[in-house]
Structures are given as C-alpha cells and as structure tokens.
Homo-oligomer: A and B are copies of this chain.
Amino acid sequence: MQSFTEENYLKAIYTLSTAENQSVSTNAIAEKLTTKASSVTDMLKKLADKKLIHYEKYQGAELTRKGKKIAINIIRKHRLWEVFLVNHLNFKWDEVHDVAEELEHINSEKLIDSLDRFLNFPQFDPHGDPIPDKEGKVYHHKEISVKDLRVGESGIIVGVKEHHPDFLRYLENAELLLGTNIKVLKIFEWDNSIKIKCDKKQELTISEKVAGNLYIKKMLKK
C-alpha cells in the first residue's frame, strides 16, 4: 500500500505522459505538484525502489505496469466521486475537483465497486472525461475540438480540456454544456474567433482559446 503522496506522484506521472513509452521530466512533475525538483528526485528514487516507475538518473520517469495500474485506479476513483457529487449531492462541475482530490485516496475496493454500481456504471465524469473500468481499461476521446471544425460543420460537446473553475463557469453562463449541439457559422480570421449556433437557439461568438478547450463529437452531415 502506498501513501497519499506517492499516489499523487503516480497520478501526476500518468497524466503527464501523453505518449506511450515517453518519460516524464523531474521539472514537469515538480511543476504539476507545485513542489521542488529536489523533492521530486527523492520520491522518484523511492517509487523506483518499489518498482512503480522506471527511473534512470537524469532520464526522467516512466510508470511500470504496476504503477500505471495504481494511477489509473486513482483516476477511476476521482471521476466516480465527481459523478456522485454532481449527480447526487448537487455540486456544480466547477466545485468538485478539490473534494474529489481527497476522496480519491480512500482505500476500499468494495466502496468503489458499490459506488460504481450505485451510479449505474457511468462512462464519463461531469467534464466528459472517461472513467476507467475496474480492469483499468480507459476509453480515450478522439480529442477533436471546436477549433478543428470547418464552417458549416457541426458536433456535440462531449468534454472540456481545461478544468479551471473560471472556464467552467463561463461555459455554464454561455449554456455551452455537455450534450449541446453546435454548428460553426463563421470563422473570423482576425483572431480566429468562431461564431457558432447552439441547439437551434442562440448564436454566439467564442474565442480561439475557448474553442480549443471544447471537445466535440463530429456529426456527419445528412
């Protein structure tokens, strides 16, 4: 069994290692966990001793199979708790992160399996991120954003890249929530802002930054 801190390191390494077989740098981990590089080095040695990461001095870290399994399980727990908080305890999607960050470290397989069943085996959390199943299988989004659409194309919002509360509250205010159907009407070359139509209702213009952080599922034209 590992400590909260170790679990947080494993999770950080997992989320930072986008590509397979690519090691994560000491500094990147330090920044992610807002700690110092020297502290990270200490922990990397410890995790390597426990066979949770592959680590060579100056070469960064990569999760072993065992380490990856633990990291994915933490993420599974985090996202299941988020679903519980939003669907049953009336939390808003911009309020769940910190509490879920604590709850994800509770250790009980029975608890998580029961929670999963109670929630009806959800596949996505409130931000559209996939929830790994009990075996650790993760369905990865294709990660197409509104930015990737051309004029006339449409899609359904399925997730957000950025999780910052301010961004989430902006979306809430603009009624750009998961499930919303949008169509690109116009792209302004000047700043790459995009005029869209939502669910046959209102039209609005979103910035390039917003567009890049809104994942969508492309709709085929009829």
Binding site for B on A (CB under 8 A): 85, 88-91, 95, 98-99, 102-103, 106-108, 110-111, 114-115, 118
Contacts and interface: CB of A to CB of B under 8 A. Distances in A.
**Copies of this protein chain in the complex:** 2
A133 to B, nearest CB: 18
A111 B90 contact: no
A97 to B, nearest CB: 11
A110 B91 contact: yes
Contacts of A99: 106, 108, 110-111
A113 to B, nearest CB: 9
Contact of A103 (B85, B90, B106, B114): B106
Contacts of A106: 99, 102-103, 106
Contacts of A102: 106-108
B95 A110 contact: yes
Contact of A89 (B85, B98, B114): B114
The 6 closest A-B pairs by CB, nearest first: A89-B114, A99-B108, A102-B106, A99-B111, A90-B114, A89-B118
Q: Interface on chain A toward B: helix, strand, loop, or mixed SS?
A: helix
Given A89-B118, A91-B110, A98-B108, 15 more contacts: A85-B111, A85-B114, A88-B118, A89-B114, A90-B114, A91-B114, A95-B110, A99-B106, A99-B108, A99-B110, A99-B111, A102-B106, A103-B103, A103-B106, A106-B106
22 contacts: A85-B111, A85-B114, A88-B118, A89-B111, A89-B114, A89-B115, A89-B118, A90-B114, A91-B110, A91-B114, A95-B110, A98-B108, A99-B106, A99-B108, A99-B110, A99-B111, A102-B106, A102-B107, A102-B108, A103-B103, A103-B106, A106-B106
A66 to B, nearest CB: 23
A91 B114 CA distance: 9
